[in-house]
Structure 1
């Protein structure tokens, strides 16, 4: 959670489109982002498993389209969730700023897991 808070507050500081009225709201937004991105990663994992298990061309195309929908749609869902929960008090900008934020959050998540030795088989 600490890393999500740091990354989100850096985005608030350096991306003009990303706004939060207070540190408390940025902390709550980080919690919301953490939960939402964990759900997205689980869904993505299932779609990737389905893609790998596909034996026909049609199944692979459907799985690839589903993966694209999850990748693009997740950003829209994050924007919608933040709007519903926080209204005008928090803004993650549009599709491009939220995509940059999500990439930074996922990169920092992977970095922390690697640093702590988690997720290694």
Structure 2
């Protein structure tokens, strides 16, 4: 009988913890990044985990399609999709945060959220590298 993979993996919890730390530091050091409570920061970290997983999946799929494209039109469509995904994902995260939390959580503007996402992805990679096979 095949083993069922748990709904929440250890690596997912490690990602959320890394995101929570980064978001907490952003709230502390950047005045335009606001979270009204620790609970909202935790929920924002979980929301960011979900959103970044979906965005990362979409970008990987688009890159796969670009590499496998056998016509100029297919390549252009894949490149156009990437061009829309890169800045569009930042706007999607800003909109999603506003939609879910209203004014209780603000991630700053486009450039602040871009820097935040870069730092989140770097912290995620660092945590995964440190914990490596233990996850």
- TM-score past 0.5 threshold: yes
Q: Which residue of 2 aligns with 1:103?
A: 118
Q: Which residue of 2 aligns with 1:82?
A: 97
Q: Which residue of 2 aligns with 1:24?
A: 39
SS of the residue corresponding to residue 117 of structure 1 reads helix
SS of the residue corresponding to residue 55 of structure 1 reads coil
* Alpha-carbon distance, 1:60 to partner: 1.6
- Any idea what the Cα deviations from partners look like across 1:11-43, whole Å, max 9, x if unmatched? 111222111111111111110001000011111
Structure 2: gaps (5+ residues): 1-15
Q: Which residue of 2 aligns with 1:43?
A: 58
Larger-Rg structure: 2
Between 58-67 and 31-40, report the one with greater CA deviation: 58-67
Q: When the two structures are superposed, what TM-score results if normalisation uses the length of structure 1?
A: 0.92
Q: How many residues align?
A: 118
Q: Which residue of 2 aligns with 1:113?
A: 128
The 2-side partners of 1:110 and 1:68 are apart by 24
The answer to whether structure 1 residue 60 and structure 2 residue 75 are counterparts is: yes
SS of the residue corresponding to residue 106 of structure 2 reads strand
Q: Which residue of 1 aligns with 2:108?
A: 93
Structure 1: gaps (5+ residues): none
- Any idea what the Cα deviations from partners look like across 1:57-105, whole Å, max 9, x if unmatched? 3322221111121111111110111101100100001100010101111
The 1-side partners of 2:38 and 2:128 are apart by 25
* Alpha-carbon distance, 1:54 to partner: 1.1
